[in-house]
Amino acid sequence: MLPKIIIVLQDDWELMGDGTGNVAGLQYLPLVFLLKLADNLNFKMTFNVEVLQQLAFKKFSHIDRNLLIQANIWDNSVLLMKEKGHDVQLHLHPQWYQCKYEDDNFILNNNWNIATYERPQRQSMIASGISYLEDLITPIDPSYKVTCFKAGSWALQPSEGILEDLESFGIIFVIGPGKGIKYVTNSIYINYDEIEEAIFPYYPDYSDINKISNKEKYIIILPLPFYKLSVLGLFGKTWESLLRRTNYDIYPKQHKITHIKSPMGSSKTIKQAYKEIFCFKTYSLPASSLEEMKEGIDQIISRVLDTDNECIPIIIQTHTKAYPFHYDNVRLFMEYLVNKYCDITKFSTLTELLSIRDNLHVKICNKK
């Protein structure tokens, strides 16, 4: 009998969005921690690995031997994930596409939304990412296939074009949309305020990913869950933020980057900032406080339990690059999740989820 809730712990395994960071410090060491935690608590997870970053490191490794060392750590880390029984799937941040390397710095481009690139460029990114992963992993797992995709910066709009591209490469599960995700600036447009289904997997309208298709599609959207911070949760978040004013990266950073700025940042009035504190937030680990992580997952699981359907996947996204100085909170949260909800949940990888997709309640629009 399938459980009421399937927990899919999914990690964005990557460096910083501006190209800074060290593979050893922000990827390998947090990975070792997470793999040991998974062994201790007996769960498996999916790592959506950022491949365009790795391709850039390999491309310029003849210039800087340090890049070659980090690229080798990257490859061996991915193989370690598989050897430990975890899932590896695709994650792409297009700002790495055709980047440059000058004065010990990666110079990334300023377009963080893969959906807005020309089709040949999109297809080149997807094809090269899939090819790299399958060439790396099939020697130790001949059955390995890339079938799941996580959009960098959650950016999949305009969705007409990008979804067809993903389908053409055999991608079935797509992660990115989620209630509470909205970044509308002069440089990027990501807006899932109008998403029609925020809990169940759904077949998307390829012309508008926020809408449910009126017929079964090849691609299935797995929406990211959301929560709403309480006053108590806000207090805990603020308190831990005040206590922890330090740099995440324990390794020396590259030179200060002045040529790229995240397009997702924008200036906000005090009124706008206050409103956003108490609006819906997309769930992601680690949050700034343990209490916020607990409060969020309790809300999410309670919401799913109120539905009549069985076998509902909950995608819990994590970002290992943010684990340094949060290790205790991540460990305590995972112990809380495993122990409190062991009777009604089961952990699954995205690949394992594919094997039971006929049992999932995937929504189709009933509008005429």
Task: Specify the CATH number for the domain of residue 167.
Answer: 3.20.20.370
pLDDT < 70 positions in the chain: 1-2, 231-261, 265-279, 367-368
Asked if residue 197 belongs to a domain, the reply is: yes
pLDDT in tens, 33-67: 999 999 999 999 999 999 999 999 999 999 999 99
Asked if residue 366 belongs to a domain, the reply is: no
pTM > 0.75 = yes
Asked if residue 78 belongs to a domain, the reply is: yes
What length is written for the chain?
Answer: 368
Q: Is the Cα torsion angle 322, 319, 255, 55 positive or negative in sign? A: positive
Q: What is the total count of domains within the chain?
A: 1
Per-residue confidence (pLDDT) for residue 255, from 0 to 100: 43
353 is in which domain, residue-wise? Answer: 5-359
CA–CA distance, 215 with 212 (Å, rounded to integer)? 9
Asked if residue 343 belongs to a domain, the reply is: yes
Asked if residue 367 belongs to a domain, the reply is: no
Q: Is the Cα torsion angle 181, 186, 188, 192 positive or negative in sign? A: positive
Environment class of 166 (CB within 10 Å of its CB; exposed 0-12, middle 13-18, buried 19+): buried
Per-residue confidence (pLDDT) for residue 325, from 0 to 100: 85
- Strand residue runs (E) in 21-157: 46-50, 87-92, 100-102, 105-107, 148-151
Q: How many helices (H) and strands (E) does the chain have?
A: 11, 17
Asked if residue 303 belongs to a domain, the reply is: yes
Asked if residue 283 belongs to a domain, the reply is: yes
Per-residue confidence (pLDDT) for residue 342, from 0 to 100: 94
